[in-house]
Amino acid sequence: MSRNLAIRLMSGVFLVVWGVLAIAPIDRATWWLENVLIFAAVAALIVIRNVLPLSLPSCVLIFGFLTIHTIGAHYTYSLVPIAEVTDWLGSGRNHYDRLVHFCYGLCLVLPLRELLMLHAKVRGFWSYFLPLDLVMSTSLLYELLEWAAAILFGGGLGATFLGTQGDEWDAHQDMLMAAAGGLVATLLIWWRNRRWQSDMTLDWFRHIGRTR
């Protein structure tokens, strides 16, 4: 299957999933707030599609992250039906938000690495550190924006959007999970490049250079 066909298929599947989950979400106001990220991400992907033709693995990772975020937006993160996981962890807290924050780091390191290596020409150590640093800093920024939105809207909407579930360290743990996911992705990319003695991102750049 070609890259372009795979992207069209993923885009179609995502539109269907998003459309279905847009029907009767648990809390419509919270759904709108959560979908600001979806709208911003889709707009950014459209803008950069020619400036940065992402590799197929990057597209798959972004598709996966946006899909699980869409599920969280439908249910609100604290009400996603994962009781079995919660029971297995021995906790009364719904950990779906922790999963999504972990996946944020796991799924965004590779696309960010491609962006930085193509346009900022970073190489070597910095090509691994800077994407991880961006994941951590944007995770911090998101928590600040989430806090600001909760204060702005207040009441039940602010509390539902914030989704702390009574955990005073919720923001800190969310940032930790994003950092952990980013670190796992960074180490996997480093291991793969070292194992095959070639950089997967530079290989992709050479490939698109030949096909243009």
CB 117 within 8 A of CB 127: yes
Which phi-psi region, left, alpha or beta, contains residue 81 (left: φ > 0; alpha: ψ -120 to 50)?
A: beta
Q: What is the rounded CA–CA span in Å between residue 56 and residue 37?
A: 22
> How many other CB atoms sit within 10 Å of the CB of residue 91?
10
Q: Helix axis angle, 170-196 relative to 200-211, nearest 10°? A: 70
**Of 75, 14, 68, 1, which is closest to residue 45 (Cα–Cα)?**
14
At 50, is the secondary structure helix, strand, or coil? Answer: coil
Q: Give percent helix, percent strand, percent coil of the chain, each to the nearest 5.
A: 80, 0, 20
| Spans of all domains in the chain | 3-211
**Of 187, 211, 210, 189, which is closest to residue 198 (Cα–Cα)?**
189
Tens place of pLDDT per residue across the chain (212 aa): 688 899 999 999 999 999 999 999 998 888 888 898 899 999 988 888 878 889 999 999 999 999 999 999 998 887 888 755 555 555 567 788 889 999 999 999 999 999 999 989 999 999 999 999 999 999 999 888 877 777 776 655 545 555 555 566 678 888 999 999 999 999 999 999 999 999 999 999 998 875 55
> How many other CB atoms sit within 10 Å of the CB of residue 143?
18
Q: What is the rounded CA–CA span in Å between residue 48 and residue 34?
A: 22
For the entire predicted model, the pTM comes to 0.87
Q: What is the rounded CA–CA span in Å between residue 205 and residue 166?
A: 46
